[in-house]
Amino acid sequence: MARKVEVTDVILRDAHQSLMATRMAFEDMAPACEALDAAGYWSLECWGGATFDSCIRFLNEDPWVRLREFKKLLPKTRTQMLLRGQNLLGYRHYEDGVVERFVDKAALNGMDVFRVFDALNDPRNLETALKAVKKTGKHAQGTICYTISPVHTIERFVDMAVQLQDMGVDSICIKDMAALLKPQPAYDLVKGIKERCGEDMLIHVHVHATTGVTLVSLMKAIEAGADIVDTSVSSIALGPGHNPTEALVEMLEGTGYETGLDMEKVYSARDHFAKIRPRYKEFLTDFMGVETEIFKSQIPGGMLSNMESQLKQQGQGDKMKEVLEEVPRVRKDSGYPPLVTPSSQIVGTQAVFNVMMGRYQAMTGEFQDLMLGYYGETIAEKDPEVLKKAQDAAKKDVITCRPADLLKPEWDDLSAKAKDLEGFNGTDEDVLTFAMFPQVAPGFFKTRAEGPKNLGRDPSLTSGPVDPSHPGFLSQPIEYQVTLNGKTSRVTVAPQ
Amino acid sequence: MARKVEVTDVILRDAHQSLMATRMAFEDMAPACEALDAAGYWSLECWGGATFDSCIRFLNEDPWVRLREFKKLLPKTRTQMLLRGQNLLGYRHYEDGVVERFVDKAALNGMDVFRVFDALNDPRNLETALKAVKKTGKHAQGTICYTISPVHTIERFVDMAVQLQDMGVDSICIKDMAALLKPQPAYDLVKGIKERCGEDMLIHVHVHATTGVTLVSLMKAIEAGADIVDTSVSSIALGPGHNPTEALVEMLEGTGYETGLDMEKVYSARDHFAKIRPRYKEFLTDFMGVETEIFKSQIPGGMLSNMESQLKQQGQGDKMKEVLEEVPRVRKDSGYPPLVTPSSQIVGTQAVFNVMMGRYQAMTGEFQDLMLGYYGETIAEKDPEVLKKAQDAAKKDVITCRPADLLKPEWDDLSAKAKDLEGFNGTDEDVLTFAMFPQVAPGFFKTRAEGPKNLGRDPSLTSGPVDPSHPGFLSQPIEYQVTLNGKTSRVTVAPQ
């Protein structure tokens, strides 16, 4: 008897976020839903991450409507979302009341599985969201962001899994957004979690394909007992995206593991998205090969291009090598944060500042906040001298409490402000939209009645790349034209 | 202590054969040779396959000069070639004297490792070439073409390995040109060969990346004891090409296996080919995703496009589905040949004929020859009725001997004919070039003095696609424009 390995397909969310700048319109996904729903997936990731932002910023689509529509079209399969813990889908910490309301509303509108993560792996930033999910009766998935550094050991990741278990999660996700998880650590990590948390703790493995090794890592994770893995139908997969679902299924033949997926349905979805894909040519990542130097530099591709762009704007494109050498130092000084949005941009920008202006002569406000604990706790001690400098420059105290503990209730204030906006529809959902994207929501509310813009059908509708003119700029996604290995790509740097 | 896994890089031969129609000029490869030679590879595949043909047909390059130049530029690393057994690099069976002379001359000009294969896996078609290699003192590698069918079992492949061992080979290659080798069979096959042939028998695994699963298969093959694996530097890899060398190296970290490759050298070669690649844009395969339906259809991509093209020329493009269903039957009737050039074209074309004109109402000469044994022996019995029809139509006898046993010495005749050609340089090497490509060599000899044409620098120099006007046509490579999943690709159907 083969053991069943469950599959989550990310085609409706992370696949197009990773490969076509999150631009896919709902109407281009809807026709594939019947096949996807019938294929036998454990869940379909279809909401959260950058899709909410993209919906209101670029597509004139109401994300709450999108969620309800997906729920209707996927009656047999769990819907799944990616949630940035206390940040929700926005770019700052929210007060607990807002987090609870968001989770409630997402559940009511049709969300089944909440994958909750924090960029610093600080469990306190996950706590409120996970509790709120549990309260709704939906599936609360606690997430470990996988990274590599001298202090990130299997043991410490396993410790975090135990902390998540203690918080009552229904499953644990190993999230490898930069494709750093090699086969042997994948095996060791899954094995370690199963040993400490018990065989019954569901383990869900999320990897990207960027480095070319992670399908092998999925094999090893499965051999170690992983229960669910993330893949994407092959027509929107690979490169900085995910491993193809079809390859996963075929890989397992004869191994004693099987997915039980109905391949005819998967092929049907594949054929649909193969037709859709060329429409989004303008947004498609050009570089579809593999990039393995990240194992040495520990710097994700998106971060690399971000720094390159910042240097070039300052006319200092020749300083890239020094910046690359500065990054590990800044990372060490700041307590080895995982390099994922927003910490990757914070560390990268500070490294650029250090090279251009002398080490810690100038600091971004975000870097000061990272040093002082305002994003949460890091895994290692921070450098005391740099900490002192940050404190002096920011004229703020170091905090050791959960950052959201400093926030006052803000729902009433957000509601009042939202009410004044033209086009506000009076729902809590609209208040939440405004809360997360106070700059963008007002414009969206105004134009919402015009209906969705399909950038695939008419690419001229796009508002174009945002000018990354302020290097410390972190509050919204930035797009760059990046030339890597002689190929020019469009890269979006945006919170996950 | 980690076990060392040796690596052969195919960047100088199969990588550009698979991804850019074999068009890369020697001068675009030469600058990377110093780095490649210093990286620590077991061997570098750099000659044979379709490169000989491409040199004289498209590049006005003398392949023998190319070989000598490679040997000079790669003093520390074994050179390696792919040789089609009794067919050499041409498209028919050659008499033993010609085969022996070819091997002699290749060894003298700098070839170290001869990978010898036969499309039907008939060991008798490998015998003369392998013996000749042994006589020169060079490395004789016997090859098993991997395929899937109801009669191709691990046991029968292992039996073939034992036959090759009995023929005195220095190593055994498992050649998976269609990326059909899944992880579990890869493990079982390597294990099976090691058990029967002894742990000391070197096993070399060659896989393509087409289906997306074969890096996992390399992992499993290595776990089972494989000694050497084929990969390609990442800038010309993946899709119908090979798994990236860098991904293989990273994949193995911590597993107890290591390649010992100097990654700085590999990255240096990668950067070089990343710059070269865009120059050959016109010849580049567009479809770089994965294709897994071949596991169901057992029909390689190149063969599929070939049949599609044949049907369209006859205005019967709507018959594709019937043809796809006919292929397994024709394959069964003809004794389950592996579907590799030329058997893939022979079976595919016959399936097209069967659908268009009624089953076996018309037969190509090549299909008759396949049925009657003129390509060698197949693994399973042939259908007696179809055999009878082939015999009646061809008015030829069934043969059970080695096909080359029927050939008379031909060297003197070939020499005499070559001597009369304008530009013939009087060497045995030129006689061999003429022997293998009697249609193309005369033109090449005439223009040779003008020196190599670099199609990357000036794509207009290409003579353009050959018109595939005769469906039974098999004697030279054919190029098609193929639309697959909405993407148009250039496909070359050519002997391996």
Provide the pairing of β-strand B478-484 with B487-493. Answer: antiparallel
The predicted-structure confidence for A353-405, as pLDDT tens digits, reads as follows 999 899 999 999 999 999 999 999 999 999 999 999 999 999 999 999 999 99
pLDDT in tens, B52-111: 999 999 999 999 999 999 999 999 999 999 999 999 999 899 999 999 999 999 999 999
What DSSP character marks residue A361? T
Has residue B487 got a pLDDT over 70? no
Residue with tokens 């890091």: A378
- The helix, strand and coil proportions of chain A, stated in percent and rounded to the nearest 5, come to 50, 15, 40
CB atoms within 10 A of CB B321: 9
Biggest CA–CA distance in chain A, Å, is 64
Q: What is the 3-state secondary structure (H, E, C) of chain B?
A: CCEECEEEECCCCHHHHHHCCCCCCHHHHHHHHHHHHHCCCCEEEEEECCHHHHHHHHHCCCHHHHHHHHHHHCCCCEEEEEECHHHCCCCCCCCHHHHHHHHHHHHHHCCCEEEECCCCCCCHHHHHHHHHHHHHCCEEEEEEECCCCCCCCHHHHHHHHHHHHHCCCCEEEEEECCCCCCHHHHHHHHHHHHHHHCCCCEEEEEECCCCCCHHHHHHHHHHCCCCEEEEECHHHCCCCCCCEHHHHHHHCCCCCEECCCCHHHHHHHHHHHHHHHHHHHHHCCCCCCCCCCHHHHCCCHHHHHHHHHHHHHCCCHHHHHHHHHHHHHHHHHCCCCCCCCCHHHHHHHHHHHHHHHCCCCCCCHHHHHHHHCCCCCCCCCCCHHHHHHHHHHHCCCCCCCCHHHHCCCCHHHHHHHHHCCCCCCCCHHHHHHHHHCCCCHHHHHHHHHHCCCCCCCCHHHCCCCCCCCCCCCCCCCEEEEEEECCEEEEEEECCC
Residue with tokens 């007002």: A442
**Chain A closest-CA separation from residue B282 CA (Å):** 16
The confidence band for B34, taking pLDDT boundaries of 50, 70 and 90, is very high
- In angstroms, the CA A57 to CA A448 distance is 11
**Nearest chain B Cα to A277, which residue?**
B486
pLDDT level of residue B461 (50, 70, 90 thresholds): low
Three-class secondary structure of residue A209 per DSSP? coil
Closest by alpha carbon to A14, among A208, A248, A303, A279? A208
Q: How far apart are CA B328 and CA B335, in angstroms?
A: 11
Identity of the residue in A235, A247, A255 whose CB atom sits nearest the CB atom of B485: A235
Fill in the DSSP letter of residue A59. Answer: I
Is pLDDT at B352 greater than 70 in this prediction? yes
Helical packing angle, A124-136 and A96-109, nearest 10°: 40
Task: Count CB pairs under 8 A between chains A and B.
Answer: 123
A-chain CB neighbours of B209 within 8 Å are: none
| Cis omega (within 30 of 0) for bond into A471 | no
The pLDDT assigned to B263 comes to: 97
Q: How many CA atoms lie within 13 A of A317 on its CB side?
A: 7
Q: What is the DSSP letter of A105?
A: H
- The tokens for A173 are 């996700």
**Average of per-residue pLDDT across B157-175:** 98
Average confidence score pLDDT of chain A: 91
B473 is written with which tokens?
């046509």
Question: Is B213–A251 a contact, with Cβ atoms under 8 angstroms apart?
Answer: yes
Residue among A243, A250, A274 minimizing CB distance to B182: A250
Which of A98-107, B195-204, B239-248, B287-296 is the least confident region? B287-296
Nearest chain A residue to B286 by CA distance is A288
Q: Compare CB distances from A275 to B290, B293, B486 and report the shortest one's residue.
A: B486
Using a CB–CB cutoff of 8 Å, tell me whether B231 touches chain A: no
Rounded to whole angstroms, the Cα distance separating B216 from B220 reads 6
State whether residue B295 sits within 8 Å of chain A by CB.
yes
Strand partners, A481: A490
Cβ–Cβ gap B289/A253 under 8 Å? no
Q: Above 80 in pLDDT, residue B119?
A: yes
Q: Contact B215/A211, CB-based, under 8 Å?
A: no
For A5-122, strand residue ranges (E) read 6-9, 43-48, 78-83, 113-116
- Contact by Cβ (8 Å): B235, A212: no
Residue B4 to chain A, least CA–CA distance (Å): 17
| Inter-helix orientation angle B183-197/B214-223, to 10° | 30
Whether A137 contacts chain B with CB within 8 A: no
CB contact under 8 A, A289 and B234: yes
Percent residues over pLDDT 70 in chain B: 92
CA distance A462 to A459: 6
Q: In which residue are the tokens 């529809």 written? A: A425
Beta bridge partners of B174: B144, B205
Q: Is the pLDDT at B464 greater than 50, yes or no?
A: no
Largest Cα–Cα separation, chain B: 64
Q: Is B461 on the interface with A (CB under 8 A)?
A: no
Contact A253 B184 (CB under 8 A): yes
Q: Does the CA dihedral A395-A399-A403-A404 come out positive or negative?
A: negative
Of A4-18, A245-259, B240-254, B282-296, the poorest mean pLDDT is in B282-296
Query: CB-side exposure of A51: number of CA atoms within 13 Å?
Result: 29
Nearest to B289 among A235, A278, A293 (CB): A235
Strand partners of residue B228: B6, B204
In this prediction, residue B460 has a pLDDT band, given cuts at 50, 70 and 90, of low
Q: What are phi and psi of A7, to 5 degrees?
A: -130, 135
**Chain A contact present for B51, CB below 8 A:** no
> If residue A481 lies in a helix (H) or strand (E), which one and from where to where?
strand A478-484
pLDDT at B475 over 80: no
Which chain A positions have a beta carbon within 8 Å of B486's beta carbon? 274-275, 277-278
Q: Which of B184, B213, B254 sits opposite A185 (nearest CB)?
A: B254
Residue B315 binned pLDDT confidence (cut-offs 50, 70, 90): confident
Q: What SS3 class is residue A116?
A: strand
- Look up the ipTM and state it: 0.89
Residue B492 has pLDDT above 50, yes or no: no
| A185–B247 C-beta distance less than 8 A | no
CB contact under 8 A, B212 and A215: yes
Q: Please state, in angstroms and rounded to a whole number, the distance separating the CA atoms of residues A428 and A102.
A: 9
* Residue B370 pLDDT exceeds 60: yes
Q: Is omega for the bond preceding B468 within 30 degrees of 0, making it cis?
A: no
Q: Does B363 touch chain A (CB under 8 A)?
A: no
Query: Is residue B107 within 8 Å of B298, Cβ to Cβ?
Result: no
> H or E element: which one contains A61?
none
Q: Is the dihedral of CA A285, A289, A294, A297 positive or negative?
A: negative
Give me the amino acid identity at A321: K
Per the CB < 8 A criterion, the answer to whether B182 and A250 are in contact is yes
Q: What confidence score (pLDDT) does residue A297 get?
A: 74
User: What are the DSSP E strand ranges found in A113-163?
Assistant: 113-116, 139-145
Q: Which residues in chain A have Cβ-Cβ distances shorter than 8 Å to B213?
A: 215, 247, 250-251
Q: Are the Cβ atoms of B251 and A182 closer than 8 angstroms?
A: yes
CB distance B448 to B60 below 8 Å: yes
Helix (H) or strand (E) holding A198: none
**Within an 8 Å CB–CB cutoff, is residue B215 touching chain A?**
yes
B30 lies within 8 A of chain A by CB: no
B267 phi/psi in degrees, rounded to 5? -65, -35
Whether B488 has a pLDDT exceeding 50, the answer reads: no
Q: Report the distance separating Cα B73 and Cα B33, nearest Å.
A: 6
Do B292 and A250 make contact, defined as CB atoms within 8 angstroms? Answer: yes
| Pair type for strands B228-231 and A113-116 | unpaired
pLDDT tier, B459 (very low <50, low <70, confident <90, very high otherwise): low
Write out chain A residues lying below 8 Å of B296, CB-based.
263
Mean pLDDT of the B436-458 span: 94
Vertex A176: Cα angle to A174 and A178 (nearest 5): 170
Give the pLDDT of residue B374.
Answer: 96
Pick out chain A residues at pLDDT < 50.
Answer: 463-496
Total Cβ atoms within 10 A of residue B459: 14
Q: CB of A243 within 8 Å of any CB in chain B?
A: yes
Q: Tokens for A48?
A: 């959260």
Read off the pLDDT band of B469 (50, 70, 90). Answer: very low
Residue type, A471: P
B223-244: average pLDDT: 97
- A389-408 residues touching B, CB cutoff 8 A: none
Long-range contacts of A312-318 (CB under 8 A, 24+ apart): A313/A468, A313/A469, A313/A471, A314/A352, A314/A356, A314/A471, A316/A355, A316/A356
Look at residue A459 in the predicted model and tell me its pLDDT: 57
Cα–Cα–Cα angle for B135, B137, B143, rounded to 5 degrees: 80
- B183: chain A residues, CB-CB within 8 Å: 219, 251, 255
Task: Annotate B282-320 with b (16+ C-beta within 10 A) or e (fewer).
Answer: ebbbbbbbbbbbbbeebbbbbbbbbbbbbbeeeeeeebb
Tokens of A68: 């309800």
A28, A154, A213, A261: which to substitute to probe chain B, counting the most B Cβ within 10 Å? A213
B183: nearest CB among A235, A255, A293: A255
